[in-house]
Structure 1
Amino acid sequence: MHILFVDDDPDIRTLAIRAVLQEFQDAAVNQASDLVFLERALHERAPDILVTDLDLRWTDGFAVFDRVKAVNPHCCTVMFTGTGNEELAVKAIRHGFDDYVVKGTHQLRRLAMAVRAAHDRNQELRRHSENRELVLKELYHRLHNNLQMVISLLRMTEKTIESERDRVQLADLGRRIQALSALQEEFYRSDDFRRVNVAGVLDRLARNLVKLAGGHVALSCDLEQAEMQVDVAVPFGLMVNEIITNALKHAFPDGRSGRLSIRLARAQERLDLTITDDGAGDPGCMGREGSGLGMRLVRRLADQIGAEVSYERNATGTTCRISLPT
């Protein structure tokens, strides 16, 4: 345990240290009376607990808080100041301080109890956070495994169906579930379960689809690294799955070779994805006029996440553009 005390007044610092150490007898202590000593203390070791005054001749307690949190985001923080009113207390708590104590010799015991309570509460929250992350990681792992099992069952069932039309529909369903599985795998690998590296998802998804289509289409990916909220990444990934599947099916019929290019780039406050093929294509299956299940699904998912989808066909192939706000 390492505690940092920041105060201009050496007498107040001494009294505060003495009081707090009654609760943390084995803690190491460091002090800072100016910016030089603060930077030196932070360079030596990131504190686990910060006790700081508000009004300092060289800065203020909020700036000290920000500097310490930049070194250790999990540091427990208590403001101990003679400038006391309800408005300032609210401001300190909103800024992120765990507690606020008004200075005074009769408040030293209150300071020690506040630091102990804040530290224990901070530790409990960290334990809950770590447990939550472990549970989420296990859930993602199990869901990924279950999706793989469903895909295997669909492929086994597909082989037993005589109707070509029914086999195609079942294979399409399997590809959609495979897209979900690729997303879940990316969530599992991510350090932050709320966001996902969408470039990694698109690269893996596109390569899997090209491989499943027979590998006769050359794939080119130019994907800018971009993170996306999970609740946006899932429908976005499913949209891309439908569009790539549609291109592979209709732009390159009967095993025709060709090239499929995918580009992801930021443009101001939007994220733009371009999918271009140089195949023959069937004009009736492209664009918003498409009536197939895949195109209806794309339109519905686009509306869900506020994305704009457009198609352009010319003599050299077809281009689909997806643009969504970031």
Structure 2
Amino acid sequence: MTPLRILLIDDNPGDRALAIRALQPAFPSLQVIEIFDQGSLNRAIQAKTFDVVVTDFQIRWTTGIDVLLAVKERDPNIPVIMFTDTGTEEIAVEAMKLGLNDYILKRADRYTRLPGAVIRAIDDAKTHAELDYYRNIRFDDLQKVLSTIEEISSQLLQDQSRPASDQTDLQQIHDQARQATQLLQALIELPTE
């Protein structure tokens, strides 16, 4: 079984230890990368050797929102969970709009929620990755069909022996295939989130 690699960002060593203790029973092969300064965070994000991020909101040297933005900029598919006792409802809403997967208040009775949040976040990330994969396959197939229609209609348009009505119909088919190709390209370039 592949070990789960969690990037744990919290400047309180006691809170990091409690989070790890809550996660270990659910993930026997857990690997935790503990982050307690900006330099180690930057190196970890650059190396991207983690599967999920668990971050506090108020950190001595940054905020959970800044962590979220840095991680999502590097890889928008990496799940991020904010586990904090200093956030507010407004912060939670803002973070969710920016791609946060879950927000849990850091209280003694809430540590047990952390493993479930990690499992859901990982499952959601896998589902999004699969949907993107199949979406891209379907777009590629459609792009090939439209390209073929455009190419064949272009070749048929060059045949001047066809009646004018056929030429008009072929021109419409060609133009519509070109428009559909352009629309499809615009859809492909849209963000998926």
TM range (shorter): 0.7 to 0.9
- Per-residue CA deviation, residues 78-126 of structure 1 (Å, 9 max, x unaligned), is 0000125433322221232110000023211101111111111121122
Distance 1:159 1:21, change over 3 A: farther
* Counterparts of 2:90 and 2:145, CA distance in 1: 48
* Counterparts of 2:26 and 2:123, CA distance in 1: 11
Report which of the two has the higher share of strand.
Answer: 1
Q: How far did 1:186 drift?
A: 7.0
Distance 1:182 1:118, change over 3 A: same
Ranked by relative contact order (alpha carbons within 8 Å, sequence separation 6 or more), the top structure is 2
The answer (yes or no) to whether the contact 2:9–2:54 under 8 Å persists in 1 is: yes
Q: How far did 1:34 drift?
A: 1.3
Distance 1:46 1:180, change over 3 A: farther
Report matched runs for 1:261-276 at 5 Å: none
Q: Which runs of 5+ in 1 are unaligned?
A: 196-228, 230-326
Say yes or no: does 1:66 pair with 2:77: no
Say yes or no: does 1:149 pair with 2:178: no
SS at match of 2:59: coil
Q: How far did 1:175 drift?
A: 5.1
SS at match of 1:23: coil
* Counterparts of 1:71 and 1:91, CA distance in 2: 19
Q: How far did 1:35 drift?
A: 0.7
* Counterparts of 2:26 and 2:175, CA distance in 1: 54
The answer (yes or no) to whether the contact 2:146–2:178 under 8 Å persists in 1 is: no
SS at match of 2:109: helix
Name 2:40's counterpart in structure 1. 37
Identity of aligned residues (%): 29
Distance 1:160 1:87, change over 3 A: closer
TM-score between the two structures when normalised by the length of structure 2: 0.80
Cα RMSD of the aligned pairs, angstroms, is: 2.9
Report matched runs for 1:1-12 at 5 Å: 1-12=4-15
Say yes or no: does 1:82 pair with 2:85: yes
* Counterparts of 1:5 and 1:60, CA distance in 2: 13
TM-score between the two structures when normalised by the length of structure 1: 0.50
Q: How far did 1:76 drift?
A: 0.2
Larger Rg over CA atoms: 1
Return the letter of the residue paired with 2:26. Answer: E
Name 1:121's counterpart in structure 2. 124
Distance 1:160 1:178, change over 3 A: closer
Name 2:161's counterpart in structure 1. 159
Distance 1:187 1:29, change over 3 A: farther
